[in-house]
Chains A and B, each alone.
Chain A
């Protein structure tokens, strides 16, 4: 299953509402996760099952689904949120990731 993530890079300012999209090449039900990765660090789980917020993750992060299109929204971008974000489908093996979206400071 191919995961097409967009945009590849996003420039935004603190306080902006940010949306990242991931489209699956076939149905994956709601078996989708979002991860945040900062330079030199391991990925960190934000959202699982398309819209469930992982414990300890700020509520400004949210996920949604419309058929095979999934969205990660950051309601008000904070300085700590500048990072690369990946979606991942775990509906069927081989599990696959989107190519990543780098969120940069505008």
Chain B
């Protein structure tokens, strides 16, 4: 069964850092690009970041560029996002999502994890 399991969400003070993880199983992880998508409480969906299957290429939404860093461990089948300089507006449920293709461009999300909650508040 294809599965994505996020972890690492927490309550963190503004300006703090946090690393989220997403453990993948049930598919050949290295063959697919992966993304992070977030959803603020009661709001819609916002794409955050994309990484290619090899991990060589990364993309970011303007709202997080320079503060977040996406990475992956293709040996352990884990996706990460390192989040620095966190702001109140980063408060959201963070989903990892599998892209349909290897590079990620022109590919939708076909599998989603259950999400991990990040709350940025003093």
A residues apposed to B, CB below 8 Å: 31, 33, 35, 41-45, 48-49, 54, 86, 88, 90-91, 93-100
CB-based contact A94/B62 at 8 Å: yes
Does B102 make an interface contact (CB < 8 A)? no
Q: How many A-B residue pairs have CB under 8 A?
A: 53
Which residues of chain B (33-47) have a CB below 8 Å from chain A?
44-47
Residues of A within 8 A of B100 (CB): 48
B95 contacts A88, C-beta separation under 8 Å: no
CA of A93 to CA of B113, assembled, Å? 22
Residue numbers in A under 8 Å from B70 (CB-CB) = none
In the bound complex, what is the Cα–Cα distance between A35 and B109 (angstroms)?
A: 9
CB distance from A61 to the nearest CB of B (A): 15
Chain B residue at minimum C-beta to C-beta distance from A49 = B108
Min CB distance A55 to B, Å, is 9
Q: Which residue of A lies closest to B110 (CB)?
A: A45
A33 contacts B44, C-beta separation under 8 Å:
no
Residues of B within 8 A of A (CB): 44-47, 50, 59, 61-62, 95, 100, 105-115
* Contact partners of B109 in chain A: CB under 8 A: 33, 35, 43, 45, 88
Please measure, in the bound complex, the distance between the C-alpha atom of A75 and the C-alpha atom of B73, giving whole angstroms.
Answer: 43
Instruction: Please name all residues of chain A whose beta carbon is closer than 8 Å to the beta carbon of B112 when the two chains form the complex.
Output: 42-44
Interface contact B47-A43, CB-CB below 8 Å = no
Q: Cβ of A54: which chain B residues have Cβ within 8 Å of it?
A: 110
Assess whether A33 is in contact with B47, with CB atoms less than 8 Å apart: no
Chain A residues whose C-beta falls within 8 Å of the C-beta of B44 in the assembled complex: 86, 97-100
Complex contacts, A43 vs chain B, CB 8 Å = 45, 95, 109, 112
Q: How far is the CA of A94 from the CA of B106 in the complex (A)?
A: 11
Is A86's CB under 8 angstroms from B113's CB? Answer: no
Option from A42, A86, A97, A99 in Cβ contact (under 8 Å) with B95:
A42
Task: Check A90–B106 contact: CB distance below 8 A.
Answer: yes
